[in-house]
Structure formats: structure tokens, C-alpha cells
Structure 1
């Protein structure tokens, strides 16, 4: 009996890494789709119904966190298992990904065997459900920016820019380098933003930024 061909979406900003993963998974008889942006990734998921997603934390024009939230908020896609890949070794990325509903997390550089074992494990868990979900009608997707009024009213231009960078998955160090300011200044901006928006708790600012300062998607029948 022939083994089923599983569909896997690889979404990552690094084209070289996409090619490497695509070659590896194709060699093991998986059907691969690729993307570099959250918007295109969501479209592919709705149109082709992959059985699994391998997703980078950093994506072009957004972040893997945003993509994962869109995936988990869509009843027709929320069952799809997702493996996060990140270039950082810190626990913050892993904790954030798991809190949002990721199924596994690999830090770069990872071995081919690690990825293959993770893929096989996730597919085995979701095989029955995925087979039932494969045949779905096409949908049209339009982006709908949703930005709360308080973000514009309460924050300065610099604070708003810092929030945008947080929503894109940038770390405090990366924000400091991009804006040519100190890490301490970025930390002060983050503290002031949280205070102005009445945000408390670990990762509350990150979750708020991802939810409100990135593109939301609306299905048109």
C-alpha cells in the first residue's frame, strides 16, 4: 500500500534556508509549498490545506507569531500543526511560540534528522483529521488593518514605530540597532508604551502588538 503524500508549507524569510528545507523534505517524498510572507502563507493554507507548517519566527513584512495567530484563529485551519524555527537560542521565542499554539520549536542551526523527526511526529498525530480536511473550496482573502484608536492617540511617533518593530518579531537589540539608539532607550520606550496602554504581565506588549499592529485577514465568499 502506498504511503500518503503529505502537504507541507515552509514559510521563512531566508530563501536559502527555504531551498535547503524544501530539498530535504522533497527527498523524503513530501509535497512542498513555500512562502516568505504571512499574507501569502495564509492564502496557501486556505487554498491548498497543508498537513503541516514549518514556520520561521521572522518573515518578510511580518512575523511568524502573527502568522500563527491567524492560523489558530481560523476554525478551518486551527488544527494544522506548526513547527517554529528560530535563529535565537533564548527561551523567550520558544515560550512565546508555545503560548500562541506552536507544536514544536527548533533553533538554528538544526540537524536534518531533528527536522525530519519533528515533521514525522506531528504528521502522525494529525493524520486522520488532515485527510478529512483536504478537500475544501477556494476562498478570497483581503487584508484589513486593525489599529485601535488609543495607539495613535496615546503614543508618540517613535513609540508607535517601536511597537511596529515588536509586531514584526524584532528583539530589543535589533530595534536599537535599526533606530540607532541604545538598548536602554528601547527598554524605556517599551515600559512607557505598556504603561500608556495599561498592559501588564509577561509578553503582554508583544501579544498586543502582534494582534493590533499587523494585517488582519477577512475571508470573502
Structure 2
């Protein structure tokens, strides 16, 4: 049941509004002046506020200004009640953040329609806000995941480069030495072992284009000589 705070200094009018709201399925809270109304609003956080403008001590404009400056009550829909239909009053109220106006005297249906309409619009805004907030949170989560993946990729790539750099240099050196093998060395067996290692290394290098920067022109020429490098690899 929606809570409706009614701030009205005229008791007959207040009683009438309470009766209408109760019969319309709402739960009314009553305040006979602006000071009490502000206290009730902050304590109960009603779903909507109906407030008279012309009241002693604290008028409706001051009530609205105070509630709009307080974060928990700032977004509560606010309907002014006024005995005057002066355009200056209407403009002043709207400039302060009022959502609607009802001119006294008003019919039962006018009050219920105004309250229901404002509640429905507020719920729509809340739904839109919630949806956009969820989208923003999801987008932020995706960005964090992408950043994590990027950082992880960078770390893996860095480690992979470090792991491959030294073996490639040693393999390169070993192949060069095999051009002038030591006496009695089994060059064919060494080449078989080296080719197996090269196959594993080069398969990975061909998949990760960033690692192609490890291949100097001298390395590329040497690897192609033993058919261990994809012909599409850059020179």
C-alpha cells in the first residue's frame, strides 16, 4: 500500500483528503503544518507528498525546498494544493521542483487521478533509472573483465617472449655450429631433435603475430633454410 503524506493546516480539508485517499486504497500520513510534515517525510519516506502552499510558520515552498535539499526525500513526487490559480504561484512551485498542482476545491476523482498519475510516472522513472544503472554496472563489469584479460594476455605474452627468446638463440647457434660439426658428431640426429623443437616453437610463433618480432632477418633466413618457418612469415 502506497504511503501518501498530506500536509494541510485546515483540518476539514485534511480530513477530507485523508478519507479520499483511504477509500482509494492508499495509506495516508497526516501533518497539520510544514514543520511536522518535514519530520514525517524524513522519518517515513512516503511514496508521494500532497502539500498546501499557504500555511503559517512554514509555507509549502519552504517545505518543498527543504525536502528537495535532503537526498533521501529529494526524489519523492510532490503535489501542491493551492486556493489560488495564479500563474506566478504555479511557476514558482514548478521551478522549485513540484510535480503537479491541484487547485482547491477539487473533486475526489481529480485528487485520486493526480496521485495515481504521479506515482505511475515516478515508478517509470525508477524503472528506467534501475535499468540504466544495471546496464552501466554490466558495462563496467565487462570493461573490468576486458582489462583483466588484456593484463593477463600482456603478462602471458611477456612470459612467453622471455621463455622463447633464449631457446631460439640457442637453437640458432646450434644450427650454425652444425654447419661445421665436431668430429664423430651425429649431425642427422641433432637435426631431428632440433627440428622437433623448432616445429613446436614455430607453431606458436606463427599463431602469435606479436612474437614474430623476435625473428631477426638472419633468423628468418636460417629457419627457412631448414624449412622450419612458414613462408608467409615476414622477413
Pick aligned residue for 1:12 from 8, 12, 31:
8
Pick aligned residue for 1:106 from 97, 102, 116:
102
Show CA shifts across 1:114-143 (max 9, x none): 111110011112237889xxxxxxxxxxxx
In the TM superposition, residue 21 of structure 1 has moved relative to its aligned partner by: 0.4
Q: Which has the higher contact order (CA 8 A, sep 6+)?
A: 1
In the TM superposition, residue 60 of structure 1 has moved relative to its aligned partner by: 3.2
1:85 aligns with 2:67: no
Other-structure match for 2:122: 126
In the TM superposition, residue 69 of structure 1 has moved relative to its aligned partner by: 0.1
Max Rg structure: 2
Contact kept in structure 1, 2:45 and 2:72, CA below 8 Å: no
RMSD: 1.7
Show CA shifts across 1:25-59 (max 9, x none): 00111111011222111110111110000000012
In the TM superposition, residue 23 of structure 1 has moved relative to its aligned partner by: 0.2
Contact kept in structure 1, 2:77 and 2:98, CA below 8 Å: yes
Other-structure match for 2:25: 29
After TM superposition, the structure 1 = structure 2 runs for residues 1-221 of structure 1, keeping only pairs within 5 Å, are 5-127=1-123
In the TM superposition, residue 66 of structure 1 has moved relative to its aligned partner by: 0.2
In the TM superposition, residue 89 of structure 1 has moved relative to its aligned partner by: 2.1
In the TM superposition, residue 111 of structure 1 has moved relative to its aligned partner by: 1.4
Cα gap change, 1:37/1:84 in structure 2, threshold over 3 Å: closer, same or farther?
Answer: same
**How many angstroms apart in 2 are the aligned matches of 1:104 and 1:129?**
16
Contact kept in structure 2, 1:36 and 1:60, CA below 8 Å: no
Note the residue ranges of structure 2 that are not aligned, 5 or more in a row.
128-235
Note the residue ranges of structure 1 that are not aligned, 5 or more in a row.
132-221
**How many angstroms apart in 1 are the aligned matches of 2:87 and 2:48?**
23
